Amino acid sequence: MTGITILGATGSIGKSTLDVLALHRDKYRIIALTANHNVERMASLCQTHKPRYAVMANEQAAKQLKGRLSGQEITILSGMKALEEVAVLDEVDFVMAAIVGAAGLLSSLAAARAGKRVLLANKEALVMSGDLFMQAVVENNAELLPIDSEHNAIFQSMPHAFRDGLKQVGVERILLTASGGPFRTIPVNELATVTPEQAIAHPNWEMGKKISVDSATMMNKGLEVIEAHWLFGASADDIEVVIHPQSVIHSMVSYSDGSVLAQLGNPDMRTPIAHALAWPQRIESGVAPLDIFEVGRLDFEKPDLERFPCLTLAYQALRAGGTAPAILNAANEIAVEAFLEERLSYMQIPQIIDSTLQAIDVKSVNSLDTVLESDSLAREHANKYLHNL
């Protein structure tokens, strides 16, 4: 039996992961589940899946969970350190890193440092600490398998030896597909008044609120460009974003002989999750087979950078290197939260991020402390900007 910890079990990726695991109770044993504040959902997950450990973000939520689960044999912990503890337990082989945002960095990194198979959904962790994270993977013989559907598709379309260098294995370019989100075609002058409800209504995917807003601004694709840079050793110039509104091709790899390999499937996260769990084997995911006749056609467009300034900001941060991606990510997290709380308009999201990138000095990344310091300076600046609006 393979032991699994799910960091972020109450979220959208957490749910899809539990759905896949439920099909394979003979292969996988759930050791730990973690959540932020949602006691009700966590109690119900613990009753169904019987993990040995549950972690809540704070003591009060943990206490409430204990109340709900009295009589059940389970250890309930709380706080950031506990997230790391359940990621590195001996009986844990795989860690699903599915906490959203910078909050997932330390526990995702702890799993890599402990040499686990890390199923990485928490792209923000890699964006913030790419160099350190990849180093931790190599030094500790961890396995890093991408859950993000695009990166999982790229992984599936890459030769096994891609870590020798992309040019070495004949890879010319990565074609990173994007749906274009809910605002791909609305007139640009209407963007000024779009609401959080409109932004989180994604045409093809059902996801958490933060990534849904990121998909609307295309900051999600920007973060994914940076994620692809670290996962596959690709430079900014090697990664091209392609708008593909059907979300059936999940990304492509273009080779020096003219071949282009792609991975296709219905837009359902259970496919990349099942892939990463079973790799290099295959298991059932519960996803319906792709009906290519119903799909009928596949369209492609170049992204409109005036409509999606966040994409340009992310390329800038990647090219600047060092802590610039961590600064970008922190400012974006503050901006998205403020937009969701209606303290900021949609068009101001890129403005805050741009201002923060210009204001905070980029440092070279030599330790986690450098990353965390840039993250907190960027948050401070972004919050000040918000305050002065």
Q: Does 130 sit near ligand NAD (CB under 6 A)?
A: no
CB of 124 to Mg ion, least distance (A): 12
14-33: which residues touch ligand NAD (CB under 6 A)? 14
310-349: which residues touch ligand NAD (CB under 6 A)? none
- Would you say 7 or 121 has its CB closer to Mg ion? 121
The per-residue b/e assignment along 55-88, b for 16 or more CB within 10 angstroms, e otherwise, is bbbeeebbebbbebbeeeebebbbeeebbbbbbb
**Helix, strand, coil percentages, rounded to 5, for the chain:** 50, 15, 35
**Of positions 3, 4, 5, 10, contacts ligand NAD by CB under 6 A:** 10
**Of positions 119, 128, 207, 216, contacts ligand NAD by CB under 6 A:** 207
Query: Please, what is the angle between helix 270-278 and helix 12-22, to 10°?
Result: 60
Q: Does 152 sit near ligand NAD (CB under 6 A)?
A: no
Structure tokens that stand for 1 in this block: 């039996």
Phi then psi for residue 277, to 5 deg, are: -65, -45
- Would you say 91 or 206 has its CB closer to ligand NAD? 206
Q: Does 375 sit near Mg ion (CB under 5 A)?
A: no
Q: Which helix (H) or strand (E) segment is 209 a member of?
A: helix 209-217
Window of 116-124, 294-302, 310-318, 378-386 that interacts with ligand NAD by CB under 6 A: 116-124
Q: Does 12 sit near ligand NAD (CB under 6 A)?
A: yes
Gyration radius of the chain over CA positions: 20
Residue recorded with tokens 């040995």: 52
CB of 149 to Mg ion, least distance (A): 5
**Of positions 84, 93, 124, 148, contacts Mg ion by CB under 5 A:** 148
Cα gap 336→209, rounded to integer Å? 9
* Neighbour tally for 158: CB within 10 Å: 18
Window of 98-106, 127-135, 171-179, 287-295 that interacts with ligand NAD by CB under 6 A: 98-106
By CB under 5 A, name the binding residues for Mg ion.
148, 150
By CB under 6 A, name the binding residues for ligand NAD.
8-14, 35-36, 38, 57, 98-100, 103, 121-124, 148, 205, 207-208, 211, 269
